[in-house]
Structure 1
Amino acid sequence: MLLAACGGGGGSGGGAVGLPTSGADAGATVTAQSAAGNAAATPAAQSAPGVQAQLTLTPEEVKERLRDAESARIRDMETDTPGVPKRYAEVAEVADIAKSEALVAKAAALPPDAGTRGSWSAPIAWPIIAIHAVLAPNGKVMTYGTNQAGAQTAQLVYDVWDPVTKIHTLLPNTTGSDIFCNSQLVLPVSGQVLLAGGDIRGQKVPNGSGGILVNRGIRDVNLFDATTQTMVAAGMPMNYARWYDTLTTLPDGRVMVMGGYDADGRSVPQTEVYNGVGPGWVEMTNARYPNGAAYPRSYVAPSGKVIAFSSAQLHELDPNGAGALRVLPQTLPVATDWTLPHAMYDRGKVLVGGADGTAAVLDINGAAPVSRVVDGIGPTHQIWATMTVLADGQVLNTGGSPSANAAPNAGYTADIWNPRTEKWTIGASAVNYRLYHSTALLLPDATVLVAGGGAPGPAIQLNAEIFSPPYLFAKDGSGQRLPRPSILSAPKDLALGTPYRMSVVSQKPIQRVNLVRTGSVTHSINFDQRFLNVPFTQSGSSVTLNVDETNNVLPPGHYMVFAIDSDGVPSIAKIVRIGVRAA
């Protein structure tokens, strides 16, 4: 068993220990680097440029021996108490009990019920708290939200992680903007990450009491390019300062921003659209959103209208011209708010988490929304949980607790909702609970990155875990990974209404092909998240998609294409760009 210090954390907490994502990744490394490619700005890393952290460790051994210590900490944690850094330096003690390679090999085996409950990796050290996470078109993941000690501020650094190489690149934020608790999504044409708003902290505005203003909005707009791994000011600030705002890609490729708090801490009812040219942001003067400021839930319906809600009350917004917003007579059958999860899991259908562990399906396919109660996940997975649409269209729910940002009775299991049966399956348990400021993001390999939590919170979660859903494993109790289809080639652009051909090799016939929008998540909301099963034909290794849809159903942007075989096993996705459909 190999143990080494890592440059992942910061502050007085010392170095972090990186853990492999699975038994198969035992040799993976985690390296934090500056923009120049040198070791990151942590004391340990600065003293040894280029140092890499490795820990060959078995997921089940870590879980078994850290669970008792974790349970003891939970009993003493309260929402208002200082966070407990969780960088996994304590696994040094765990290393001492592994006396032989035989023990390590035995513990490395995947659980026999992985085919029904899935499997978690061991925790992975993360250089910051991943309050925000976005999947870029090149497959890399940008996260940001705190400094290396896990303290609130996104003005200093952000991280880029490569899921294939497992390498972290910690980069300086040179824009001057504190992008803490802003909104972010991938622009449909350029593939850059648009970051709108943030915290006024970085402007150092005096608060009249000897300090500075914090937790208020700014007008700043920044762009991150995942290819060059650089972030720059867009030069097109919003008309209104925003913090806790929501971004939505519209059918014509424009991006709409709504909600948030301004520089005085007041709700922002004005709605704006961005096209990246000319004036940049234009206000829709007839589309004032009155129902709550913090991260409104917003979905483009098949009609092209936008359905938005911050409570049970539904609103319809026409994004054309000056816009038009009206309060709908329909309401959700469950109480909900911005602390509860939701996900668009099919064409015009949204699973909405409700209070007290309830849930509802909101159908926005027709002229008027229709909603109904379905089985809920229960109160354990309630407040600050995150819903993630999986490669097969099922919905994963991770994190959450019965009380806001409180550890007692927090949810550890990865629970999966099946849209066909509308029933939940209780999945495998993670090592860590995930509360406020946690994230979950579907990766191209059909696993889910689950990270963050804290700032504030009962624990500073400078770590992540990766959940491998049941569809990756045999159902015979062996816990073995199944062979996967492989997409050998696929064009980078998919034109709606035009045949799209890709080459697929598979031991089993291809049964389904699914499109899943690349994720951009924070605060229990995944901006633009959506899923669609698409028709296809197959001749040998040639698979042709027939995506005869409008941009109301598939707004322009980047999507993961998964080919799924007759055993339900998904391929590693190809990320494609869907543009505005030609008239």
Structure 2
Amino acid sequence: MPSGRLRDSTRRLRRSHWLVVFALGSLLVALTPMLGVAEPAAAGHAPGHRGDVPFDQKTAMSSPHHPAVPANAKEPAAPVLDREGWTVTASSAETARENGRAANVLDGDARTIWHTEWSGTATPPPHTLTVDMHRTAVVSGLVYRPRADNPNGRVGEYGISVSKDGQDWADPVGTGTLADDNSAKTLSFAPQGARYVRLTVLSEAGKRGPWAAAAEIDLLGDPGTPSATVDLSRSGWTATASSEETAGEDGRAANVLDGDAGTFWHSRWSGGTPAPLPHSITIDMYRTTAVSALSYEPRQGKANGRAGAYTVTTSTDGTTFGEPVAKGTWRDDDTVKTATFTRAVQARYVRLTVTSEAGGRGPWTAAGEIRLSGPADPSAHGSWGRLIGFPLVPVATAVLPGDKMLAWSAYAVDRFGGSNGYTQTAILDLKTNKVTQRRIDNTGHDMFCPGIAMLADGRVLVTGGSNADKASIYDPATDEWSRTSEMNIARGYQAMTLLSTGDAFVLGGSWSGGRGGKDGEVWSPDTGTWRKLPGVPVGPTMTDDPDSPYRADNHMWLHAMSGGKVLQLGPGKKMHWITTTGDGSLTDAGTRADSGDAMNGNAVPYDTGKLLTLGGGPAYERKPATRRAYTVNASGDRVEAARTGDMDHARSFSNSVVMPDGKVAVFGGQSMPVPFSDATSAMTPELWDPATGKFTPLATMAVPRNYHSVANLLPDGRVFSGGGGLCADQGCATNHPDGSVFTPPYLLNADGSLKPRPSITGGVPPRAALGTSLTVKTDKAVKSFVLMRAAAATHSTDNDQRRVPLTSTRTAAGTYEVSVPDDPGVALPGTYMLFALDAEGVPSTAKFVTVS
């Protein structure tokens, strides 16, 4: 037996499943004043108990028929499936020297383990563990609990596959790499029907040996998140309810369609006797269309009226409603819920009937917003790939040459705080979807909540954060991190941009390193030192956040232009010109039309000197976000701003990405921004078209992407969207250590197959000087070329992304002279992805080129 493998019984941990005790009978709830009138009040709960009886490890014992969830973990977003009748088999199991049978992962006892064979000659990976549920169920995730007494065998790189018959195994539904610790891991994937679920272990997390082990395995059921659906337009819809409150408050049914989660429908409660359950609300779309899911957003701010048990029925005439197309019971929390229909149906009317209040607090029902979804058309709405698991929450990301993406987080995979002097990082190989993990110690820098600038030579400069004065550089050519000189002003949540001169500019950042005084400074790549800019004070650039300056100077939108100049165009309502020569200067550049402050919104350069700003809100958190979007046109010293079309969803903490065709996709966000919360999540991305100024919906996401999420354009024209959460509380239900790749509509046919795309076959050197021409060869005729800057994202901000349309001339069949701009304020120095687009706007896979 390998050294250190003996289990010490004194260190064994008994893991028990959650004990949930429901109160019997009715709960009498006092009426409390709201807006000067009486309204049902939420029952009080002791902090930390979530309304349940406190967990008692001595009396709540696990059963092999019931899911085993770690006692220190929070309830997962999807239901844990009952394991009664399940069996499990493994490709390898140690039975000679210890009880390492596969069946141990289903016995409810964390002290017993499955372990691959190690006596004699150890079986090399890959190792497989296959669960047979002996029935078909909707499955959306696997919960892996490592053995507690010994690190050997912890799962590192993994794949998850599902099958309906145990014979036909399609491509993996989830892949990734797990962190080398003993916490329970939830490996999510798109919900689908299956009988068999297989975990394939490709490597041991700590590379200590060829082993794999597990204490317990659980499977998650239907989380109520639709796949391959898209929001239907609510224009012209009406809503009616069996009961609504109009005397004591504005609880009209119509409020569920107004796009404002702050208004809500509420069943009647005034007048002495509340209207009894069940309550129903009926949506009339005034047209018959295909519907496949209903999304329910609870009222925000109070728990009363959250829908519990429900059914959804549909009708074509408003009179005859058939059998339920969806039914179930929603959890008692404030997150958006979805009822996925058993099949898509043609309907004009959709009725939600609620038969119980989720928390059992009273006979009420309420809803903030209700949306309906239909089947997605990939050619119009795009599609999502499988979830990729990361060994950390990807809070910051940077796209690298060689089809790689760098991600980093904090000192630990699931927590932050302090100044620990090291950072957890990972690299995603975009060709294989493999993720490798690495801890960076040599720079003495905890790079959580940093500023980022992609340098002219392709390196990544990361500043501040938890270690607020530090600065580090990642070199993709050598895969090495190094330190550079410390900033003059310690910062966290600051904004950065590369300048046209090749220097890097930083401003703001009171989250860390003390509050206030985060004036501008510049870093030189020639000297590796920082220079203060006394003429660039931070004060005029700040928002009017009530928690100023701590929240008021965060995540600024910076756009570098010619001559070392910068346009600061948000998130404050006032814009400014910044110069960086000498002491620097800051002058007024007007306002973004009628926009207010838009903290945690986005600014995206979609064309030369043209930017789209969207979303955000008047404060960092707990103030409603906006649906509004604006265009900003900067030319010379002039800045013109105008309002463009509104998004369908209000969003803060979202991420936006400009595409090679000039359209802008926005992912995730909340209508009421609250860090570490998945409430009020916008699950439907949207696409803005500069030709029309309008937003259209894209295919619905499987995972909320809010605070601490990212999005990046990839070299094949797709988009990575991931992260969110990083709660300091281990097992936090809103931690999302994963991501997924979105395939935009321009790459897809209506049946989901890939459109033929052009290819760049030659003529792109690794480096190109400003003002030069490239002789680019393609395999077929193309219409245009565009440079897309390799970019870095964190905290809803990406000041590195930039789209540069190029002039080109066809000189022969498949040969084009492509001109690189001569102005470094247009083609900012650095690494770009060169795309060719055909007449239909289908982009090639990019070729990397460094412009200087």
Matched, 1:172 2:172: no
What is the rounded CA distance, in whole Å, between the counterparts of 1:352 and 1:289 in structure 2? 21
Per the alignment, residue 502 of structure 1 pairs with 776
- 1:92 is aligned to none
Other-structure match for 2:760: 487
Whether contact under 8 Å (1:381, 1:398) holds in the other structure is no
Which of these residues, 691, 700, 703, is aligned with residue 429 of structure 1? 700
Shift of 1:126: 1.5
Instruction: Tell me if structure 2 keeps the 8 A contact 1:260–1:268.
Output: no
Structure 2 counterparts to residues 124-273 of structure 1, below 5 A: 124-146=388-410, 149-152=413-416, 155-174=422-441, 175-189=443-457, 191-200=458-467, 218-234=468-484, 236-261=485-510, 264-273=513-522
Residue number in structure 2 paired with 1:367: 637
Cα distance in 1 for partners of 2:330, 2:808 equals 50
Structure 1: give runs of 5+ residues left out of the alignment: 33-38, 54-59, 80-110, 201-217
Mapped to 2, the partners of 1:51 and 1:6 lie a distance apart of 20
| Alpha carbons of structure 1 residues 383 and 543: separation in structure 2 relative to 1, 3 Å | same
The residue type paired with residue 487 of structure 2 is: M
1:417 aligns with 2:688: yes
What is the alpha-carbon distance in structure 2 between the residues aligned to residue 64 and residue 179 of structure 1?
Answer: 35
1:271 Cα offset (Å): 1.1
The match for 2:171 is 26
User: Alignment partner for residue 724 of structure 2, among 453, 470, 493?
Assistant: 453
Distance 1:25 1:426, change over 3 A: farther
User: Is the Cα contact below 8 Å between 1:29 and 1:166 reproduced in 2?
Assistant: no
Aligned residues: 510
For residues 402 and 146 of structure 1, the distance between their equivalents in structure 2, rounded to whole angstroms, comes to: 27
Q: Match for residue 561 of structure 2?
A: 301
Q: Deviations over 1:434-466 (max 9, x none)?
A: 110000011001111000000238610011111
Q: 1:74 to 1:178 in 2, by over 3 A?
A: farther
Asked if 1 retains the 8 angstrom alpha-carbon contact of 2:757 and 2:842, the reply is: yes
- 1:500–1:397 Cα change, 3 Å: same
- Alignment of 1:531 with 2:803, yes or no, is yes
Structure 1 residues 424 and 310: alpha-carbon distance in aligned structure 2, compared to 1, 3 A threshold: closer
Report the 3-state secondary structure (helix = DSSP H, G, I; strand = E; otherwise coil) of the residue aligned with 1:116: helix
Percent identity between matched residues is: 26
Residue 533 of structure 2 aligns to which amino acid in structure 1?
A: M
* Counterpart AA for 1:383: S
Residue-by-residue CA offset, 1:239-270 (whole Å, 9 max, x unaligned): 11111111111111111111112765212332
2:816 is the alignment partner of 1:551: no
User: Structure 2: how far apart are the matches of 1:403 and 1:125?
Assistant: 27
User: 2:224 & 2:386 partners in 1: Cα distance?
Assistant: 7
- Among candidates 30, 41, 44, match of residue 180 of structure 2: 41
Contact 1:7 1:15 in 2 (8 A): no
Q: How far apart, in 2, do the equivalents of 1:383 and 1:423 lie?
A: 19
1:483-532 CA distance string (max 9 Å, x none): 111112311112221111222213xx201111111110011110222112
Given the two structures, how large is their TM-score scaled by the length of structure 2? 0.55
Distance 1:502 1:299 in 2: 29
Contact 2:717 2:843 in 1 (8 A): yes
Q: SS of the counterpart of 1:369?
A: strand
Q: Could you tell me which residue of structure 1 aligns to residue 238 of structure 2?
A: none
Q: Closer, same or farther in 2 for the Cα pair 1:122/1:402, shift >3 Å?
A: same
The structure-2 alpha-carbon separation of the partners of 1:282 and 1:146, relative to structure 1 and needing over 3 Å to count, comes to closer
Choose which of 380, 401, 405 in structure 2 pairs with 1:116: 380
Provide closer, same or farther for how the CA distance between residues 225 and 28 of structure 1 changes in structure 2, counting only shifts above 3 A: farther
Task: Give yes or no for contact 1:381–1:399 (8 Å, CA) kept in 2.
Answer: no
Tell me the distance in 1 between the aligned counterparts of 2:841 and 2:768.
Answer: 24
Task: Tell me the distance in 2 between the aligned counterparts of 1:50 and 1:488.
Answer: 42
Distance change (3 Å), C-alpha of 1:29 and 1:224: farther
Matched residue SS, 1:535? strand
1:267-304, CA deviations, whole angstroms, 9 ceiling, x for partnerless residues?
Answer: 23321111123361111221222123212111123575
Structure 1 residue 312: deviation in Å? 0.7
Query: Which structure carries more relative contact order (alpha carbon 8 Å, separation 6+)?
Result: 1
| SS of the residue 2:445 aligns to | coil
User: CA distance change for structure 1 residues 8 and 552 in 2, over 3 Å: closer, same or farther?
Assistant: farther
Match of 2:379, SS state, is helix
- Give 1:575's aligned amino acid: F
- Give the letter for the 1:41 counterpart: D
Change in 2 beyond 3 A, CA 1:410/1:69: closer
Aligned partner of 1:410: which letter?
S
Contact between 2:564 and 2:581, CA under 8 Å: does it hold in 1? no
Q: 1:136 to 1:11 in 2, by over 3 A?
A: farther
Could you tell me how far apart the structure 2 residues matched to 1:197 and 1:25 are? 44
- Matched with 1:541 is 814
| CA RMSD between the two structures | 3.6
Alignment of 1:310-389 (within 5 A): 310-354=571-615, 355=617, 356-378=626-648, 380-389=649-658
Q: CA deviation at 1:113?
A: 1.1
Separation in 1 of the partners of 2:528 and 2:476?
A: 25
| Structure 1 pair 250–570 and aligned structure 2 pair: CA distance change class (3 A) | same
| 1:511 corresponds to | 783
CA contact (8 A) 1:74 1:407 kept: no
Amino acid of the structure 1 residue aligned with 2:481: M
Letter of the 2:748 counterpart: F
User: Given the superposition, is the C-alpha separation of residues 15 and 436 from structure 1 closer, same or farther in structure 2, using an over 3 Å criterion?
Assistant: farther
Return closer, same or farther for 1:397/1:8 CA change in 2, 3 Å cut-off: farther
Whether the 8 Å contact between 2:592 and 2:642 is mirrored in structure 1 is no
Q: What is the Cα deviation at residue 568 of structure 1?
A: 1.7
Secondary structure in structure 1 of the residue aligned to 2:469:
coil
Letter in structure 1 aligned against 2:737: L
Deviation at 1:409, TM superposition (A): 3.4
Of Structure 1 and Structure 2, the greater helix share is in 1
Cα distance change of structure 1 residues 168 and 62 upon mapping to structure 2, 3 Å threshold = farther
Match of 1:521 in 2: 793
> Aligned partner of 1:126: which letter?
F
Letter in 1 for 2:752: G
Q: Which residue of 2 aligns with 1:207?
A: none
Residue 381 of structure 1 and its aligned partner are, at CA, apart by 4.4
Compared CA separation, residues 504 and 325, structure 1 to 2 (3 A): same
Tell me, in whole angstroms, the C-alpha distance in 1 between the residues paired with 2:650 and 2:816.
39
- Distance in 2 between residues matched to 1:575 and 1:74, nearest whole Å: 48
Structure 1 residue 11 displacement after superposition: 11
Asked which structure has the greater CA Rg, the reply is 2
